[in-house]
Amino acid sequence: MRKLILGLAITLDGYIEGPNGEYDWCFTDQDYGLNEFFERIDAIFIGRKSYEMMQKQSDSSNGEAIPGMPALTEYVFSKTLTSVKEGAVLISGDSMAEARRIKNLPGKDIWLFGGASLYDALMKEGLVDELWMSVHPILLGTGKRLFREQSDRRQLTLLDSKIYETGLVSVRYSIV
């Protein structure tokens, strides 16, 4: 079965974006393991807000939402969208059943890119296999938190960690 890997930037105090949706605090001076990660995946799960943000970024940067990102099958999870760009797949019905079905398809691992709500729902269903966090050395103090209340504890096993000269710490955990 393919692994579903939450991979994203986060501040030391647990925020994934600032109070106005900004992510200008994310380091972009090097790839921080992203190109190696891209070799592991062939699909991306993305929520509506993150999808729309990526579309805006793509439109303003010659079609490249994330520098170096290969062509991936995009699964857009939304209850409100009625269409997505050509080549993307809209998931709007029983999204957790559909996520399970996609994980069972042959292929490489899947990147859970965005959406705290999507992450929360997938985590509650036990569908997230790994957390790969790029912890940025900043305290935002406010914004959107990634981690919400969970009904039970989840044990994690450290798979890898790397410290960069910039102070960014990359950590990768499997969820037990």
The count of structural domains within the chain is: 1
Position 33 scores a pLDDT of 92
Beta-strand (E) ranges in 4-84? Answer: 4-11, 15-17, 41-47, 73-77
Beta-strand (E) ranges in 78-151? Answer: 89-91, 109-114, 130-136, 144-145
> Tell me, what CATH number does 168's domain have?
3.40.430.10
pLDDT band at 107 (very low <50, low <70, confident <90, very high): very high
Rg (CA), the chain: 16
Distance separating alpha carbons of residues 153 and 173, to the nearest angstrom: 15
Q: DSSP assignment, residue 52?
A: H
Average pLDDT of the segment spanning 109-133 = 91
pLDDT(93) > 90: no
SS3 10: strand
pTM of the model: 0.90
SS3 163: strand
Domain of residue 77, residue span: 4-175
pLDDT(86) > 70: yes
pLDDT band at 55 (very low <50, low <70, confident <90, very high): confident
pLDDT band at 60 (very low <50, low <70, confident <90, very high): low
Angle between helices 116-124 and 95-103 (to 10 degrees): 70
What is the token pair recorded at 154? 């989840």
Task: Please give the distance of CA 69 from its chain centroid, rounded to a whole number.
Answer: 13
Half-sphere exposure of 143 (CA within 13 A, CB side): 23
